Structure 1
């Protein structure tokens, strides 16, 4: 095998990774992001409610800054909300310029890339979610993800352009793909984080693990049951569901475990209706 061929990771890993831009304001950033991910070998770009609407894919500035990544731009999916963008995704990473009091566990960019490739190697879909240029991601958006990443830029001047952030993360994911293809261990910090994954994860079939959609459905079902039990006050929910999201994000639930939790919620709701 030639040296150049050995440097090309399995296409399956690339096919499992999508980059999600949430409510992007500037068409130029969409084109630049398309170019950024193509240079690293990725092709899945998803746009959540871009300000320019579907016209963003035909915008002259977007096309100019895509600069050879016209195919990625042309094939970008436009969806109405983040839920639709993450449909079918097993593991999602939120990118944020600020820390959050509540939300998913924190990870460094390199850690998150190694963990993403670990999941992709199991046949799972993974996503990196970037917020709008002005406001970033809302707390609700962040809570839909499994990990939160902050790029440790210069604290004196930490302003990263959206496409620059996409480029940095795409590079880290590519390097993690290459490392896996060479049979190298992930970074130490990521290895520690992945030590918390269920025993024998590598031996599990992808079907054994719950998808994000499975977990979202379970959380919605469980929330209704907790409201029926008067354990959760819908008018004053505090942070109960946020904390449960964080708990389950760290648990890497299997599909059977999700089914058990949904079964419990179902029986709570049925028993409450009977009485």
Structure 2
């Protein structure tokens, strides 16, 4: 299978030194795609503390980007891995990084989740993996975790599991690198530039489709915006498992438009 592109995404990071330390951890494992979402310091990539803690990985900082939204950070990514210290009561399955990466690269996830089909295996042959890390103080929000295909939890001392963000990046990057190496990927392997037509839609495209469906479901009275419960996160998980292609998203958005048009047409009668 073609080797996946890999992106590290830091959400609302508050310490410039941690950004530099993350860049160092990434470079040691051969990765260089780093995106920051709403960091505390807009100029964090150029701050002295970040450059000092990068310790020779300033090229990773130079390539890094700061963006305003998670959607921007996830553009082009097809498989999203949240990082959590404790399992959530709701949301994607929680696995150790090593176990999940083995399943992912062996293309065993559909069978594991009871969703196996030929289309699943074709689509999982083209991966663009995003590894998401929350703020140092609060971690990832439930909303951001719900967007992901899996929640990675590093096995730690059950009485003290607190990890510095750079340490967490180092451990997960190491396990991911080892998984890639076991599949002939070497260090920091990147996927070829060409992406076939059957490749799954990226996270931003899927998010836009779900936002459109939310509007349509409100319009037809299926979703009460005052009491949404967990309908949209459940739909997020459904489509994460399905891994729809861009063409399939166009169909789903067409259905949403038809729902909205039917409501407008009924009002105009």
TM-score by length of 2: 0.83
Conserved? CA contact 2:126–2:199, under 8 Å: no
Spell out the pairing of 1:192-271 with structure 2 (5 A cutoff): 205=196, 207-271=198-262
Match for residue 91 of structure 2?
Answer: 103
Conserved? CA contact 1:116–1:126, under 8 Å: no
The higher-RCO structure (CA 8 Å, 6+ apart) is 2
Match for residue 174 of structure 2 among 171, 174, 183: 171
User: Which structure dedicates a bigger proportion of its chain to helix?
Assistant: 1
SS at match of 1:154: coil
Deviation at 1:69, TM superposition (A): 0.5
Structure 1 Cα separation of the partners of residues 92 and 38 of structure 2: 24
Larger mean Cα displacement after TM superposition, 226-235 or 107-116: 107-116
Larger mean Cα displacement after TM superposition, 107-116 or 228-237: 107-116
Corresponding pairs, count: 243
Deviation at 1:118, TM superposition (A): 6.7
Structure 1 Cα separation of the partners of residues 52 and 106 of structure 2: 35
Match for residue 38 of structure 1?
Answer: 27
Match for residue 7 of structure 1?
Answer: none
Deviation at 1:239, TM superposition (A): 0.9
Deviation at 1:246, TM superposition (A): 1.4
Report Cα offsets for 1:146-167 as digits up to 9, x if no partner: 2111112111111111000000
> Unmatched 5+ residue regions in structure 1?
1-9, 183-203
SS at match of 1:18: strand
Conserved? CA contact 1:113–1:169, under 8 Å: no
Aligned in 2, Cα 1:257/1:266: closer, same or farther, shift over 3 Å? same
Structure 1 Cα separation of the partners of residues 101 and 26 of structure 2: 14
Cα RMSD, aligned residues only = 2.4
Match for residue 156 of structure 1 among 148, 156, 159: 159
SS at match of 1:74: helix
Aligned in 2, Cα 1:253/1:137: closer, same or farther, shift over 3 Å? same
> Unmatched 5+ residue regions in structure 2?
108-122, 186-194
